[in-house]
Each structure stands twice: as C-alpha cells, then as structure tokens.
Amino acid sequence: MFKKIVLFLTLVLFMAGCNSSQVDQNKEFDSNYAHVVYFWLKNPDSQQDRTAFETSLRKFLDNSQFAKTNFIGTPPKATRDVVDDSFTYNLIVSFESAEDQEGYQKEEAHLQFIEESKHLWTKVVVYDASTIE
C-alpha cells in the first residue's frame, strides 16, 4: 500500500510540474507560423542579468496582442555533437498568420522589450517558419 501511495504522489507531482511549464497552457499551439529566437547573453552567469531578461521577456509576452502561444527555455547540456547548447535562452512563439507575426514585430510591447533588454545580449538568431501543406 505504501508503494502505491508513493507512486501516486510521484505521479501527482510530475503532473503538477508539467502544468507549470512555461508553455502557455491556456492556448493551443498554432502551427500556421512559428517564430523561434535564440539569445546569447553577454553575462550568462549573472543572475541579475538573467532575472532582468526573464522579467522583461515575460512582461512583453503577457502584453503581446499577437503571440498566440509561447515557450521560454534554456539549453540542456548537449549529449550529441549535433546539438548546439551555446545559447542562453530560447523563445518559441506561434502565430495564426504571417501578418500577425508582422504586427508582433511592430507592437509596443515587443519594441519595449528590445529597448529594455538589448544591452543584455551579444547575439540573437531568429528562425521563422510557416507550416507545410
């Protein structure tokens, strides 16, 4: 009986961890248009810089009129040669259309994020993709 309780509690904790992930759980990923961004911070070991970046990024995403879903991540330690783990943060945003992604680029929340955070990074790489039919 004790093993079943431990197993049940482990499962509950696992599910709670999944629900608290950084993917927007209230919206479904829109596969029409994906915007994938990689950031390399100037001082990736600075907790102060990381906190400032994350705070600004979350504020931006919370106020975006166009971003349908989002995911913020950090690289796990690479275990294969083909995996690039040199970046500090990864952002994946989905949009209903290329037009929405264009609106996102020009919206005040996005421009404010860039202004607040650009001093924190040395490099940004963006990959945009639309769905294949």
* Counted domains in the chain: 1
**CATH number, residue 43:** 3.30.70.100
Nearest to 96 by CA among 118, 55, 67: 67
Burial class (CB in 10 A: 0-12, 13-18, 19+), 129: exposed
- The reply to whether 1 falls in a domain is no
How confident is the model at residue 120, as a pLDDT?
98
In a domain, 12, yes or no: no
Q: What is the identity of the amino acid at 110?
A: H
Going by pLDDT thresholds of 50, 70 and 90, the confidence category of residue 99 is very high
pLDDT at site 29: 66
Average confidence score pLDDT of the chain:
82
Range of the domain at 39: 22-130
Q: Answer for the pair 122, 40: CB distance below 8 angstroms, yes or no.
A: yes
Dump pLDDT digits (tens) for 45-91: 999 999 999 999 999 999 999 888 889 999 998 889 999 999 999 99
Q: Are 125 and 44 in contact (CB under 8 A)?
A: no
Whether 6 is covered by a domain: the verdict is no
Q: Is the pLDDT of residue 17 over 90?
A: no
Identify which has the larger pLDDT, 131 or 103.
103
- In this prediction, what percent of the chain has a pLDDT beyond 90? 62
Whether 42 maps to a domain, the answer reads: yes
